[in-house]
Structures are given as structure tokens and as C-alpha cells.
Amino acid sequence: MGYGGCSSSVVHESFRDLLASSFYELLHFVAPMGVISTLERIRRKFLWGEMENNKKINWVTWEKVIEHKEAGGLGLGSLRALNLSLIAKWWWRLRVNQGKLWSQVIQGIHKIKAKEESCLANRSSTGVWKNIASIDTELRKVDVPMEVIMKKKVNKGDKTLWIGNETLKVAFPNLYALEKKKRCTVEDRVKATGFERNWKTTPNINDLTAICSSLGQFRPTTDEDKWRCVLTGDEPHVKIEWIKEVPIKVLCFIWRASLGRIPAATELSKRGVMFESVQCGQCMEEDESPDHILLTCPYAMSIWEWFWRWCNMPPFQFNTVADLIGYVSQQGSHRKNKKVLISICYGTLWEIWKARNGRLFKRLPSTPPKVANNIQSVVYMWLKYRSSAKIFGIIQCGQRFDFDLELSFVKVFLKKKYIVYYKLIDLNSRLSTFRSNIFCLTLCAFHTYKKCHI
């Protein structure tokens, strides 16, 4: 094994010192694209388990993997974005910490106050700060200009970019030419009573209407101007709830399933893996796609019918995993109830996938009742050991499916706390399908809380 538990063939020796070093270089210097690309390639191979002589399928594009979780990615982050953001943060620090000694020194050396806000260094200067000041050029290459993401929240007003993506001087050049006082502030022109004019001649009516429309209902205040960061992502994506109650391995599977990037027969055939048939081995009716395995196969549909009854919810039929996750994420009026419902949904998807793999690779067929028992057991263990007592105590179940062995969570109130244990209903006097560790926990809870009554 090599550095950090990684194989020596994955992490090249020439990059181990770079990986082990601090972010000093990324914080002050723009890294060459060749170095960034090489490091990203190492991360990509490590994620998918690739070796020099062992190629693996990259199920999701690297651009999607490194996106933030809020944007539908896995949240690994881009080294290029990290490098640029660390350097750009110096711009932010200089703006919001103007009273600090280091900020005053930089402003004095480069005479920043006498220049436009987009200029942070003298053209003739050299050194680290010159490199930091040139980050705007790098950001423009990725269509993220600094003046757009860092704007002033105008209160008293100043000559700055504060409405739209360009200054009023650029947006309305004719009106700027008519202005008598070029260095006027927003406070000088925009009053509580309206727009105050001080032009050489009467302006064009179209320009006047346009600038009044841009100003809208803005009114200045006596407070000082403040800087704010404006970064938004408007692209539609599936919102995955990354809750701590569910193991990270299961969450990653749910994320891939929502994108349709799990090793189903149809997805493997798209990537050059040959099969005699891509039909579903369970129903033999349709092609084995990710959504078919987890949702539309009759085998999966019977399990989802049980799921809706178990959660006391009206049954719905979804054609994609993304639609199912989006619907479940919007249910539940209370945050804790919502987490329990999401955990059950994710556990159901996970156990259906495990049952499919067990049938395909181990020749171990699983009936829907057995899968349902496994779902109850695994969700119980998640909420028991990975969540707070309050979340664990609000598990409730309604009507159950008619299985041989029925397990129900029963809510018991004791000393102002919720205690949850299993109520076992063994219709056939058999416990062979029930996990012994859960049964021991049940007996322990029963004897510990004898005075509890259902």
C-alpha cells in the first residue's frame, strides 16, 4: 500500500509529496492546468478503483461527481475550482476587512482606493499579490467574472457595480455623458422621493424610462455599503437527502440510481459489455434498466405496495427513481418524520438491489416478504445506531402486509421519552427468517422496560 492507504500504482511517487503538502501553493498561486489535470486523473482512478492494468467503468462523468451535493453531484469538488476560490477569497478578505492592518498595507502599496474596484494591484508590481490580483483573468476563462459574483449591497451608495451585471456608466452611456457631476454617488441621485436629476440637457425618454425601470423600488439608506457574494446554480437536478441516518455507501448508490448509473443490463450493454439477453431475469418481460429493476418490475412493485401500506401513504407508481426520490423528499410535515420516511425509502431501494444481485450472482432467490423483513431490519438498525433517540422514537407504522412474520415498530411513552422496541407476531411459530441479533434486542428491551405497556 502506498500513501494514505492508496496503492502505489494509483498514487505516483512524484505526486505523493504534493498530495501531502499544505494548500499554500493553491492559496497563493494559480496551478498549471497540466498539474491539475494529472491530480484529477489520480482522483478519478481512485474513485472507480482503477489500476494501471485494470480498467473500470466510469459510471458518472467526473464533472458531475465533483459538483456540489446541492447541485446534484457527489460533492468531491474540483481542484481547479478550489485553487481559484482560495485565491479569489483574498479579494473578499480585502473588501470586507478594510480596517485591518494587512489590508491597509496592501491598499497603500498599490494605491487601491484611487483606482477602480476591479483593480487590486499596480501594473508594474510583481510578487504574490500581483498573482492574486490577476485571478480575475482566470475566472473570466470559466465565465465567472469577479465583478458579477462580488457586488456591493448599496446603502449610502458609491461608484460601483450594484445593479445588474454592468455599471450604469456602461449600461447608459448617453445619460452618463449628460451628467454634470461624474463622481456622484447613488445617494446623491436616488432619494426617498424618487430619482433626482442633474443633467446638462433633457435626456432621451427611452433612456430615462430604462434607468427608472432598472432602479425599481430601490431606496438608499444611511448605512455603509457592504460587499456580498452572489453565486447561484439554477440548473435542475435531483435533490438527494444526504442524511446521517443512512450509510454513505447506500447514499452513493441512491445518487447513482437517480442518475440511472448502476450496473443494470441495459447500462452495461451501452458501455460495451455483451449479454445474450438484456431482459429482466425476474419477470422476463422488459429490458433490465435501473428504473425497471427498482420500480416497474412486478417483483419490485409488490414490495412498493407493501412500502406504501407500511408508511400509511396512498400508493403511487413512479417510472423513474428520480421522481420517487423527489416525491418522498417533499413528504412529512416534521423534519424527524421526514428523515424516517426517507430512510425507509432508501432502505427499500437498497434491499431490492441487493435481492437482485443475490439472485443473479449467488442463485439466492428472495421473496417479497423476505425482502420486506430485511427492509424493516436494516432500517431499524440504521435508526437505532445512527440517529438520535428522538428520531428513533417517532417510528410509526400502520397497516402491514400479510407476511409469515410481521414486525411492527410500537411507540411507547416512558418518563417523557420514547422507547421503541419490536412487537413480534409469529403467525407460524417460526423465527428462522428473523435476525437473531434483533430478537435479542427485543428480549432485552422487553425485560428492561417491563413496566411499559402498549
Residue 241 lies in a domain: no
Residue 89 lies in a domain: no
Question: Do 209 and 259 have their domain in common?
Answer: no
Read off the pLDDT band of 249 (50, 70, 90): very high
From 26, 58, 77, the end of a domain falls on 77
Read off the pLDDT band of 169 (50, 70, 90): low
Our count of domains for the chain comes to 3
Confidence at residue 291, expressed as pLDDT on a 0 to 100 scale: 93
The answer to whether residue 152 scores a pLDDT higher than 70 is no
Question: Do 349 and 257 have their domain in common?
Answer: yes
What sign results for the dihedral spanned by CA atoms 85, 63, 58, 74?
Answer: positive
Which has the closest alpha carbon to 379: 408, 412, 418? 408
From 60, 77, 94, the end of a domain falls on 77
Residues 159-187 have a mean pLDDT of 63
Domain that holds residue 353: 248-448
Q: What pLDDT digit, counting tens, does each position of 18-30 carry?
A: 554 546 677 777 7
From 54, 77, 100, the end of a domain falls on 77
Residue 180 lies in a domain: yes
User: At which residue does the C-alpha cell 447514499 appear?
Assistant: 251
Residue 131 lies in a domain: no
Q: What pLDDT digit, counting tens, does each position of 331-374 carry?
A: 876 777 788 889 999 999 999 999 999 998 988 888 999 999 89
Compare 347 and 92 and report the one with higher pLDDT: 347
Length of the chain, in residues: 454
Question: Do 313 and 414 have their domain in common?
Answer: yes
| Cα–Cα distance, 1 to 11 (Å, whole number) | 10
Question: Do 297 and 443 have their domain in common?
Answer: yes
Residue 56 lies in a domain: yes
In this structure, the number of other CB atoms found within 10 A of the CB of residue 366 comes to 19
Question: Do 269 and 388 have their domain in common?
Answer: yes
Residue 84 lies in a domain: no
336, containing H or E segment: helix 335-361
Query: Range with the lowest mean pLDDT among 4-8, 92-96, 130-134, 160-164?
Result: 4-8
The answer to whether residue 320 scores a pLDDT higher than 70 is yes
Compare 112 and 71 and report the one with higher pLDDT: 71
Q: What angle do CA 349, 240, 336 make, to 5 degrees?
A: 85
Question: Do 275 and 337 have their domain in common?
Answer: yes
Question: Do 290 and 257 have their domain in common?
Answer: yes
